[in-house]
Chains A and B, each alone.
Chain A
Amino acid sequence: MDYATLKAFKPSEYEDAADGYRSMGNVAQAAKDRVENTVAAGMRKTLQGDAAEAAQKQLQALTKNFHYIQTECGVISTALNGFAYDMAAAKRKLDTAIGDAQGCTVNPDGSVTFPAGQKPGDEKVADGGTVTGSAGGSPTSDAVERQAANIHPNPNYGKAMGYANRIADAVREATDADTKWAPKIQALKADDDLTVSARDWTDVTSDTGGVRDAADAYLDTIKPPPKNDLPQDNANWWNGLSEEQRAAYVSMHPASIGALDGLPSAVRDDANRMVLAEARGAAQVEYDTWLKKHPEPTRHTDYINPMTGTIMKGVKVDSVAWKEWEEARKSAHKSIDGMDAIQNRFDQTGTKGLPEAYLLGFSTEGDGRAILANGNPDTADHQSVYVPGTTAELGKIEGDINRSVNVWRSADDNADGESVSSITWLGYDAPDSVPKDAPFEHYAYDGAPALNRFLDGLETSHTGDTAPHRTVISHSYGTTLVGAAAQAGDLNADDVVFAGSPGVKVSGAEEMDVPKGHVWNEEAEGDVVPDLGRYGHGGDGFRIPSDEQFGANQMTTDTEGHSGYWDEGSTSLENQALVVVGKGEDVALKPPPNPLTSEEVLRSK
C-alpha cells in the first residue's frame, strides 16, 4: 500500500462487491428453500421408489451446497464491508490532509512540496522545498520536528511537514488494514469439490471467527441487541437495522440471532440452521477423532457354557470389551443422533402433507437445546408448545419431535381449515434421571423464564390482525416447569394441558394465568408418576392437577402408563388436539382419578 494506491482507492467498490455477495447469498438461500420446500417436498408428495429416493439424496446434497454458499457469501460480504470500512477511515484521513495542504503540492509519492516563504521580520525570502513525512509520531519526535520547524527559515516548512506526516499516517493505517485483511480474505477460499463435508463446515466456523475479529470496527457500528431479553425490544431492534446490518449480524452471530425471542421465525430458522450445520460438522470431526483414538476391539468371543465351564464350539458372543466400547461409542455419537433427527424432520417436509419445519432454537451446550416448529408459528391461527420432561435432551430429541408432529396431524384436521403450528420446546436442562434429579425443583425454576420469554416472543413475532390461540402442552417434569413459569412470571397462553404431572408447584388451575376452564389434565391408567411426585412438586397440601380440588378438566385417556400420552389415534392425543384448536367443548372428560394409596405407590417403586 502506498500513497498513490490509497489515493485511487474507492471503498465503495468493495462495498458494492459486498452487496453483490449478499445478494448472491440471498439467491442461494432462496434456491435452498425452493429445492427443499418446493422441489423435494413436491416430489415426496407424489413419487416413491428407489429412483425417487436417489433423486432425494441428490437434492439434499444440492440443498447443502446452496446452504454452504449462502453462509459463506454472508461471511465474505461482511469481510468486504469490514475491509472497506477500515480503508475508508484511512482514505478519509488522507483526503482531509490533502484538502488541508492547500498552497502546498502533494506529490505522487506522498511527499509535500512547499513554496518559498518569509518569516515576519526576516529580510530574506527562504526557498521552498519538499518534505517526506513519517508515520506514527511520538511526543519526542513531535518536539524535535517542532524545533526544526521553528529553526527553519521558511514558515511553510512546518506546515508541510505536518501534512506529510498525516499523509504518511493515513498510508500506514491503510497498509495495516491491508495486511490484517489479506490473510482473512485469502482464507475464504473454498475447495472446488461439490461435496459439502464436515470439514467445510468447521472451516466456515473458523472463517467466521476470523472475520468477526478483523471486522470489529465495522461491526461496532451495528447496534447490538438489547440486553433486557424483552421480545418486543428485540423485535424493535431488528426492525431498526438496515438489510446490510441484519445480514452482517446473522452472518457473524447466528447463534445469538437464532436464540432471540421476538424475531421473525423465518429469520431465527435461517440463523439456527447455520448453527446446526456448523455444529454437525464439528461433531462429525470430533466423532471421527474419537473413533481413531478408540479402535473397535474384537467383537466376538467364545461362549463358555456356565454349566460345564467349557467352550461351546461354533457359538460366539459379544466380548465385554466390545460391549463397553459400543456403549462409549454410542455416547460419543449422541449429539449427532439428535442433530440428524432434526435434519430428518427437515427432509420429511411434504411427506403425507407434513408442513415446513422451523428451527427456532438450537445449541449443543449442556444437554443441548432444540426448538422445532411444524408449520410457521408467525402465521398460524393455533400454536401449541410442547415441553418435554425428565431425561429430555438433544440426543433423544427424535421422540419429542415426533410427538409434536402427531399433535400437528391431529390438530390440523380438527382445525377446519385454520392453520396450526406445533412446536417442540426443549429450551431447558431437564433432569437426567427420575429418581436422582426429578425430585429437585431448580430445573423447573431455572427453565421457567426462558419458556415465558419464548411464549412472549411467539406473540411478538406473530403477524396478522388476530392474536393466535396458544396452548402449552407439557409432560411429566415439563408440567412442573410450566407451573413454575406461571408462578414466577406470566404464562402467555390461552390453554394449558398437563400429561402425567407429578405436580406443578401451584395449587390450582386459577393460578395458571389462563381463563377459567382452560386447564386440562391427563392421567393415564397405570401412570404412577403423579402420585410419586406430589410430595415433591405438589402445591399446598401436596395438591396436583389430577386432584379434584386443583380444578383442571380431567380428559379421558385410553393409553397406559407414563409415556403413552401421544400414542396416536388414542383419545389422549385427540383430546390434546381438540384443546389446541380451541374445541374444548368436544373434549371427552372423566371424573378425577382416585389417588393411589401409599402402599400402591410403594409397590410401584
Chain B
Amino acid sequence: MKTRMRASVLAVPLVLTILTGCGMTDDKSDGVPFAGTSTSLDAADTMERVSSEIYDLLGVKGKASDSLPGVMDCSGKDTKTYFRIFHPWSFTPASASDLDEAMERLKGELPKHGWEIVEYGPNTSKNKNITLTADNDKKKVSVKVTKMAKNDPPKLSLNLVSGCYKVPDGEEVERF
C-alpha cells in the first residue's frame, strides 16, 4: 500500500520514463499515440504530476482548482483494456490583471520543457477566447489552455489528455 502524496512534492521523471520509455515508437491509433502499459489509477497519478509541472510554469500567484483526472475511451480500441486519461482543471490568478501574464508565461515556458505549441489564437466562441494547444511527445500528453478573460473570475481553463494506455495483462480498466 502506498499513500498518495501531493503531486508537486513527488519526484517526477523516473516514473514517466518507465511508463513511456518503451512505448515511444509503438503503434499510433487514429493519431493518438501509445502511452505505455499502466493501470488507470497510476496513469491518473502521472497525469496529476504533469498538471503540477504546468502549474509550476505559470509563475504568477493564484489558485488551481482541485479537479482530478478521469478515464476515457481510446477510440477504436477495446474499452476493457485500453484507456486514456484526461484532466480538466483551472487556474485563477490572485489578481485578474495577471491572467495575460500567466498565459504568456505558458506560451514562453512550455516549449522549454518538452512541449510543442501546435495552435495559438482566438477560438470561434462568442467570447473569442485565446487558446493554446501544446503536445508533449515524451510524456504523450496534449494540453489545451483556454484564456477565459470574461469569466467571473477570469481564469485559465486547462484540459490535459493522454495518449492510449494499455492495462497490464490480465487486468481490466478501472473507471472513475
Which A292-336 residues have a C-beta within 8 angstroms of B?
none
Q: Report whether A405 and B144 are in contact in the complex, using a CB–CB cutoff of 8 Å.
A: no
CB-CB under 8 A from A412, the residues of chain B are: 67
- Tell me whether A46 and B3 are in contact in the complex, defined as CB-CB below 8 angstroms, given that A352-B68, A586-B125, A586-B148 are known contacts: yes
Q: Report whether B3 and A586 are in contact in the complex, using a CB–CB cutoff of 8 Å.
A: no
Q: In whole angstroms, what is the CA distance A560 to B89 when docked?
A: 25
For residue B161, CB closer than 8 A to chain A, the reply is yes
Question: A49-57, A120-128, A384-392, A434-442: which one contacts chain B?
Answer: A49-57
Q: Which of B126, B174, B175 contacts A405 (CB 8 A)?
A: B175
For residue B99, CB closer than 8 A to chain A, the reply is no
CB-CB under 8 A from B127, the residues of chain A are: 585-586
Closest chain A residue to B89, Cβ basis = A413
For residue A48, CB closer than 8 A to chain B, the reply is yes
Mask of B68-92 contacts with A, CB within 8 angstroms, 1/0 = 1111110100010000101011100
Q: Which of A352, A413, A570 contacts B176 (CB 8 A)?
A: A352
- Tell me whether A569 and B72 are in contact in the complex, defined as CB-CB below 8 angstroms, given that A402-B175, A586-B151 are known contacts: yes
Q: Report whether B72 and A406 are in contact in the complex, using a CB–CB cutoff of 8 Å.
A: yes
Nearest CB in chain B: distance from A599 CB, A? 26
Mask of B119-140 contacts with A, CB within 8 angstroms, 1/0 = 0000111110100000000000
Closest chain A residue to B143, Cβ basis = A569
For residue B150, CB closer than 8 A to chain A, the reply is yes
Q: Report whether A585 and B126 are in contact in the complex, using a CB–CB cutoff of 8 Å.
A: yes
Nearest CB in chain B: distance from A576 CB, A? 12
Q: Report whether A569 and B129 are in contact in the complex, using a CB–CB cutoff of 8 Å.
A: no
CB-CB under 8 A from A414, the residues of chain B are: 88, 90, 157
Nearest CB in chain B: distance from A591 CB, A? 9
For residue B159, CB closer than 8 A to chain A, the reply is yes
Q: Report whether A48 and B1 are in contact in the complex, using a CB–CB cutoff of 8 Å.
A: yes
Q: In whole angstroms, what is the CA distance A322 to B129 when docked?
A: 58
Q: Which of A48, A50, A406, A560 contacts B4 (CB 8 A)?
A: A48
Q: Report whether B1 and A344 are in contact in the complex, using a CB–CB cutoff of 8 Å.
A: no
Q: Report whether A413 and B90 are in contact in the complex, using a CB–CB cutoff of 8 Å.
A: yes
- Tell me whether A586 and B146 are in contact in the complex, defined as CB-CB below 8 angstroms, given that A353-B67, A567-B72, A568-B86 are known contacts: yes
CB-CB under 8 A from A531, the residues of chain B are: none
Q: In whole angstroms, what is the CA distance A444 to B105 when docked?
A: 51
Q: Report whether B1 and A353 are in contact in the complex, using a CB–CB cutoff of 8 Å.
A: no
For residue B41, CB closer than 8 A to chain A, the reply is yes
CB-CB under 8 A from A344, the residues of chain B are: 175
Task: Tell which of A352, A584, A585 has the most Cβ of chain B within 10 Å.
Answer: A352
Supply 10 A–B pairs (Cβ within 8 Å), ascending by A.
Answer: A52-B1, A402-B71, A402-B72, A406-B72, A413-B90, A416-B151, A560-B30, A569-B144, A584-B126, A589-B126
B interface, CB within 8 angstroms of A: 1-4, 30, 41, 44, 65-73, 75, 79, 84, 86, 88-90, 123-127, 129, 142, 144, 146, 148, 150-153, 155, 157, 159-161, 174-176
Q: Which 7 interchain pairs have the tightest Cβ spacing?
A: A569-B161, A49-B1, A568-B72, A568-B86, A351-B176, A352-B68, A413-B67
Other A-B contacts than A402-B71, A585-B127, 9 sampled, CB-CB below 8 A, are A352-B70, A410-B159, A416-B90, A560-B75, A564-B75, A569-B84, A569-B161, A586-B146, A588-B124
A interface, CB within 8 angstroms of B: 46-52, 344, 348, 351-354, 398-399, 402, 405-406, 409-410, 412-414, 416, 556, 559-560, 564, 566-570, 574, 577, 583-590
